[in-house]
Structure 1
Amino acid sequence: MSDLYLKFVNTSVGKSTVSTLGLPSPVVLKRWQRTDQPFIEGDVLVGAAANPRAAGVVGSVLATSPANVYHASGNDRLADSAKAGSKARPLAIDGSIDQRFSALVFDASGIKDTADLRALYDFFHPVIRKLAGNGRVLVIGQDPDTCRKPAQAASQRALEGFVRSVGKEVGRKGATANLIWIAPNAEERIDSSLRFFLSPRSAYVDGQVVKIGKSDIDTKAPKSSAPLAGKTALVTGAARGIGAAIAETLARDGANVVVLDIPAAADDLNAVAQRIGGKPLTCDITDAAAPAQIANFMEKQENGIDMVVHNAGITRDKTLGNMPEHFWDMAIAVNLTAEELIDEELLKRKLIRDNGRIVCVSSISGIAGNFGQTNYATSKSGVIGYVESMARSLKNGITINAVAPGFIETQMTAAMPFTMREAGRRMNSLSQGGHPVDVAETIGWYCHPQSSGVTGNVVRVCGQSLIGK
């Protein structure tokens, strides 16, 4: 179902009406349109606190774009931001700035104590109102868990509160703010993440924190238009909705995709497979024989696998006192247990190749809980625990991450009562629902060959929902 309110407020009559009534006025989000589209265009301003660690990588990545890159000058604390690549030109950040910026990027990795936090204000205060519609704010810091001194850990953790608040301030423009925390000596692993968070691919990812660590896997930069070329993916629950969008996005990026769903969805599944040039596999993932069936198919048909996306999921909503036991059992079996057993079989038989990717679909219900969804929230919270634990044990460059969608425009949300649907759409910093492709693009970033340092993360695709962390 389309968002009629969003369409209305972006007409001349609608803009006047909502302004008079003081209603939310969401901006139409710009999403990825074509394979040759640059990840960032327009004017980009880069700044840094003293002793930045990632500025050089930021500059190198931005230098590959057609963007006009500037580095902040006129402030001693930001002097080192000149390291942001030879392409960058100095720009005094004061009241005389009249341009609009597509992105504001700040390297805060060198902040060591609370006094250093003033660098955030010095950089953002003069320019935050110059951020363009659908713009990007990206802050890079050091993972607080790797800081040796409490003052440094406190200062780096403070970046989270800053970014989440900025996201709420700029969301009315359709702009987003996100934070990347890097481990020591992991600066070279941020390439794919920079490109994702600065691009239209991350249109509905807002107020999020991503940790990037070191990796023993070193990959060459793939072809930008087909980064997954030569790789094989398995997507469960792929017959429609978010699952179909994931399959389509991975295929667009060059992957050979095997789409899986229950036998009852065979017609829709075959249509998806035909559309993307993939292969269908019908299977009930809760069946005891399913893990072996899937492993046998991937071994015989594909001789291995590079990406496993656990998207299959169900809801069986009832308040706890009214919930029949089979509602509980089905939600846990489909949403959680099946993922564990499938991965266990694939890993045991060494079918997941080096630098492979496992991605699980959780939900903001698993973070914040939801009325009438004790079974669903339990399963989706369990997914998060599974991802965090598995990330510590996987080897050979295999990563595991999760996405936690918020309100996404699907057949399921279209069937919700009007008041609940509208509340779900508006209760986020962007004042609108997301699209299935927003979840798919986030998974595409996780699956990128150069995302080897990204593991154990849970990224909400929710427009910075007011519900949950």
Structure 2
Amino acid sequence: MTDIFSTIIGSPIARRVGVPQPTRLRRYEPGMPLCEGPVLVAGGGRFADGLVTWLGELGIRAIRALDPNPSDSGEATRLGAVVLDLSEARDPQDLDALRVVGAPALRSLARNARVVVIGTDPATLGEVSHVATHRALEGAVRSIAKELRHGATANLVLAQQDSSDGVRSAVEFLLSGRSAYVDGQVIRVDDRTGANADAVRPLAGKVAVVTGAARGIGAEIARVMARDGATVVAVDVPAAGDALAAVANEIRGTALQVDVTAADAGRRIVDHAVTRHGSIDVVVHNAGITRDKLLVNMDESRWGSVMAVNLRSILQLNDAILAPGAMPDGGRIVCVASIAGIAGNRGQTNYGASKAGVIGIVDALSTQLAERGITVNAVAPGFIETDMTARIPFATREIGRRMNSLQQGGTPKDVAETIAWLAQPGAAAVTGQVVRVCGQSLLGA
């Protein structure tokens, strides 16, 4: 989505005078390679050898060190990715590997390259020095992400002692084009084992319910879920019936017209999914509205409607979805939060409160459902190019687009790709997480 300002800065004249140009991001399409160029796997942690073997099985060249004399070989290696495994670091001095190994590698990155650092989840460590060392990785990786250019991203995976499956799934996501707009994030993985799935259609055989699916981000979530093999139940209000039917027909799913705030909405969704398709394996709570106003001018209707749609409906729907006979063990619940729920937004006290409440649902429910193997996560979009953001006043819109490390807005597909990964069988080790899809927005944590 472009406007006159974007057109101007992308013009030949602007390029010639050196106006910074946002890099066209490498976004996933079925059949594309995991990453472009060799992957440097370094650091000597407990996951490195397994990752090298796995990359080799995918036909990707993994190297353990940079050529110290690239000019002698006549070829300068441009890295598609760097995976730095520091999971065995035990003292702050071990973090010098970020400088010794990382600095030369960063100079060798190709466009749209990936940097993934692996540490150990501090919550699983006892020694103060160990905890401090791995907590320090968060500040380091987020800072590295702000230094990278040309569409490159940096993210951190924090693992438990025996988290090979979870690490591999997270690294696969972060290396791929699915994570184009995920930058400066921390993903924690536990030691649960994820099931193997088809690389092209990882959701094959799954039934996914997507609320708010008639347009925008919700419609794109439905499309990506269907592309990845899921049978999708697209849910939206009756007023959006025509658009909802068009989406459902496009993806060969089914449409259900229901207001998620209705008392019987959960029962109707469960009855539809179970009767038509046999079960509910994935639920994406995407339905949401905004009714912006400064708090001093906020009326009961604006406050109550946002809370009802964005927050209370999720609680009510979950009561039905988690009842016996609906979602089986091993299911997936993914909520759409927002960076407004993390950093707040002027004029959006109601919206910010509702989205922070969504994060609270993820925190609490992920623990309660752990024994059933049901994961509960959220994505928190930043500035995403939609019809809604196109209506934002010009100056505010352009600032929002560019106040992130990638210097551009994201797309609905970026949000959908992250949700689809969290829904995959292989992501069983990721729960209780909020992944920001914001290009490392300068607003928020």
Deviation at 1:161, TM superposition (A): 0.7
Answer yes or no: is 1:411 the counterpart of 2:387: yes
Match of 2:118 in 1: 140
Deviation at 1:455, TM superposition (A): 0.3
Match of 2:32 in 1: 37
Q: Distance between the aligned counterparts of 1:348 and 1:259, measured in 2?
A: 21
Q: What amino acid sits opposite 2:426 in the alignment?
A: Q
Answer yes or no: is 1:454 the counterpart of 2:430: yes
Retained in 2: the 8 A contact 1:231–1:254? yes
Q: Distance between the aligned counterparts of 2:60 and 2:227, measured in 1?
A: 25
- Give per-residue Cα distances to partners, 1:199-219, cap 9 Å, x unaligned: 11100000000000122x552
Q: Distance between the aligned counterparts of 1:144 and 1:373, measured in 2?
A: 34
Instruction: Tell me which stretches of 4 or more aligned residues in structure 1 moved more than 6 Å.
Output: 93-97
Answer yes or no: is 1:227 the counterpart of 2:202: yes
Distance change >3 Å, CA 6–CA 168, structure 1 → 2:
farther
Other structure's SS at 2:384 match = coil
- How do 1:211-226 and structure 2 match up within 5 A? 211-215=188-192, 218-219=194-195, 221-226=196-201
Match of 2:333 in 1: 358
Distance change >3 Å, CA 6–CA 67, structure 1 → 2:
farther
- How do 1:128-277 and structure 2 match up within 5 A? 128-170=106-148, 172-215=149-192, 218-219=194-195, 221-277=196-252
Retained in 2: the 8 A contact 1:6–1:28? no
Distance change >3 Å, CA 4–CA 66, structure 1 → 2:
farther
Percentage of identical aligned residues = 48
For 1:46, which of 28, 41, 44 is the aligned residue? 41
Deviation at 1:8, TM superposition (A): 5.1
Match of 1:421 in 2: 397
Q: How many residues align?
A: 442
Retained in 2: the 8 A contact 1:249–1:440? yes
Distance change >3 Å, CA 16–CA 191, structure 1 → 2:
same
Match of 2:2 in 1: 2
Q: What amino acid sits opposite 2:130 in the alignment?
A: Q
Query: Which runs of no fewer than 5 residues in structure 2 stay unpaired?
Result: none
Other structure's SS at 1:385 match = helix
Deviation at 1:188, TM superposition (A): 2.7
Deviation at 1:346, TM superposition (A): 1.2
- How do 1:17-96 and structure 2 match up within 5 A? 17=17, 19=18, 23-33=19-29, 35-49=30-44, 52-72=45-65, 91-92=67-68
Q: Distance between the aligned counterparts of 2:58 and 2:219, measured in 1?
A: 30
Deviation at 1:354, TM superposition (A): 2.2
Other structure's SS at 1:352 match = coil
Q: What amino acid sits opposite 2:186 in the alignment?
A: V
Other structure's SS at 1:359 match = strand
Deviation at 1:232, TM superposition (A): 0.4
Query: Which runs of no fewer than 5 residues in structure 1 stay unpaired?
Result: 74-90
Q: Distance between the aligned counterparts of 1:342 and 1:9, measured in 2?
A: 46
Q: Distance between the aligned counterparts of 1:202 and 1:9, measured in 2?
A: 26
- How do 1:253-402 and structure 2 match up within 5 A? 253-394=228-369, 395-402=371-378
Q: What amino acid sits opposite 2:406 in the alignment?
A: L
TM-score by length of 1: 0.91
Q: What amino acid sits opposite 1:13 in the alignment?
A: I
Deviation at 1:192, TM superposition (A): 2.0
For 1:438, which of 414, 423, 442 is the aligned residue? 414
TM-score by length of 2: 0.96
Deviation at 1:38, TM superposition (A): 1.9
Retained in 1: the 8 A contact 2:379–2:418? yes
Deviation at 1:7, TM superposition (A): 5.5
Deviation at 1:393, TM superposition (A): 0.8
Other structure's SS at 1:63 match = helix
Other structure's SS at 2:57 match = coil
Deviation at 1:9, TM superposition (A): 4.5
Deviation at 1:66, TM superposition (A): 3.2
Q: Distance between the aligned counterparts of 1:68 and 1:4, measured in 2?
A: 42
Q: Distance between the aligned counterparts of 2:136 and 2:188, measured in 1?
A: 15
RMSD over aligned Cα, in angstroms?
1.6
Deviation at 1:459, TM superposition (A): 0.5
Other structure's SS at 1:305 match = coil
